[in-house]
Amino acid sequence: MISFSRINYVVTVELGGHNTPLLIDKGSNLTWIQCEPCDPCYDQQEPIFNPSRSPSYKPILCNSTTCNNLEYYTRDCVTKSSTCQYYIRYGDSLYTFGNLATDRLVLGTTLVKDFVFGCGWANYGSFDGFSGLLGLARSNLSMVSDTYSVFGGVFSYCLPSMNTKGSGSLMLGDDPSFYKNLTPISYTNLIANTEMPNLYFVNLTGISIDRVALQDPSLGHKEILIDSGTAITWLGPTVYHAVKTEFLKHFKGVPQAPAFSIFDTCLNLSGYKELDLEHDIPKMEMHFGTDAKLTVYGAGLLYIANIDMSQVCLVIAGRSDADEISTIGSYQQTNTRVVYNTKTSTLGFAEEICS
């Protein structure tokens, strides 16, 4: 069963000669891993990294520019000559504490020397048993910034559909020859959010269901967060109501089903077992700026709560307060190449089979 609070995607890199599976987190300002000796430690699948066995490992000192690039609330220094320490707390009392350091990083066949990361001596939480987090935020010490000279501040991903066992891809750099997109990439500008400057926001200017444009005064006047870690899309209350109303117009005569989890728009499709979710369900298009759009087909709109199709729900939820942040989650980003370009401050979308 899918957790509708978060969905985790994992990439394996080589750090300090050690294969390291990391959770991808576009909201994290720093890449970090568990290091020996640690107390507390959480159980992880791979052996914990031992910096004493890596000849290229180097701690970072407090009097360095790199240490000063740490956000002030995560930096901990005793003296200028001491080792730079970081502290990051997440929700649900999860945290990691340790030293800032550099080591050799290998991504595919590309070597990044002196990659900056956190070597965690005290780590609390499960983190799903992976070695740490890969930080892809817009901060000075995220992987995007630290590898800027190699990859130019560009990364992209293609997330596989939730109902397949295939793997997607994470690519760094702006080489379109590696993409397998089926449609041209359409770009929109990233919008600065003063309260969360390291995250990725865009201007949602319109939504259409099966080419019917929805009307809502908030469209075009409120930014929306792009987040691969959040499972589903959350819309403002009036926008969600417009989506729900237009969506149900395509299912006249179909009995509704009880709400499921956080979803209040559910249908009983048990009498329509030949239904093709990819082709018989109206598609949704989300429009950004003047040219960009994200197309979501049926498999990214519906969740089958009961295998007999008696409870099939729209996988979009509405915020209770218009001031809450709207978010485009990973469920609606599947089978799409999403390109982040921090140099030009743009975000691009193209259809692609990701599995």
Lowest pLDDT segment from 32-46, 167-181, 327-341: 167-181
| Rounded Cα gap, residues 158 and 355, in angstroms | 8
Give 155-187 as a DSSP string: EEEEBPPTT-----EEEES--GGG---SS--EE
In the chain, helix, strand, coil percent, each to 5?
15, 40, 45
For residue 177, pLDDT beyond 90: no
On whether both 147 and 173 belong to a single domain, the answer is no
On whether both 297 and 190 belong to a single domain, the answer is yes
For residue 91, pLDDT beyond 80: no
What's the whole-number mean pLDDT along residues 237-244? 96
Q: Which of 25, 103, 146, 216 is catalytic?
A: 25
Catalytic residue list contains 43: no
Query: Which amino acid, one-letter code, is at 299?
Result: A
Catalytic residue list contains 227: yes
The pLDDT of residue 73: 59
Domain that holds residue 286: 169-351
pLDDT, tens digit (0-9, with 9 covering 90-100), for 286-305: 999 888 999 999 889 999 89
On whether both 100 and 184 belong to a single domain, the answer is no
On whether both 92 and 219 belong to a single domain, the answer is no
CATH of the domain at 288: 2.40.70.10
In a domain, 5, yes or no: no
178 against 118, higher pLDDT: 118
φ, ψ at 229 (rounded to 5°) = -85, -30
On whether both 320 and 254 belong to a single domain, the answer is yes
On whether both 141 and 195 belong to a single domain, the answer is no
In a domain, 159, yes or no: no
What's the whole-number mean pLDDT along residues 269-281? 81
For residue 3, pLDDT beyond 70: no
| Rounded Cα gap, residues 35 and 50, in angstroms | 6
Considering the chain, what percentage of its residues have pLDDT values greater than 90?
68
The pLDDT of residue 108: 87
pLDDT, tens digit (0-9, with 9 covering 90-100), for 143-165: 999 999 999 999 999 998 876 77
| Rounded Cα gap, residues 88 and 142, in angstroms | 14
In a domain, 4, yes or no: no
In a domain, 123, yes or no: yes
On whether both 196 and 77 belong to a single domain, the answer is no
On whether both 181 and 254 belong to a single domain, the answer is yes
In the chain, the number of structural domains is: 2
The pLDDT of residue 7: 66
Q: Which of 43, 227, 264, 323 is catalytic?
A: 227
On whether both 213 and 263 belong to a single domain, the answer is yes
The pTM is what?
A: 0.91
Considering the chain, what percentage of its residues have pLDDT values greater than 70?
97
Q: What is the mean pLDDT of the chain?
A: 90
Helices (H) and strands (E) in the chain, counts: 4, 26
What's the whole-number mean pLDDT along residues 183-210? 94
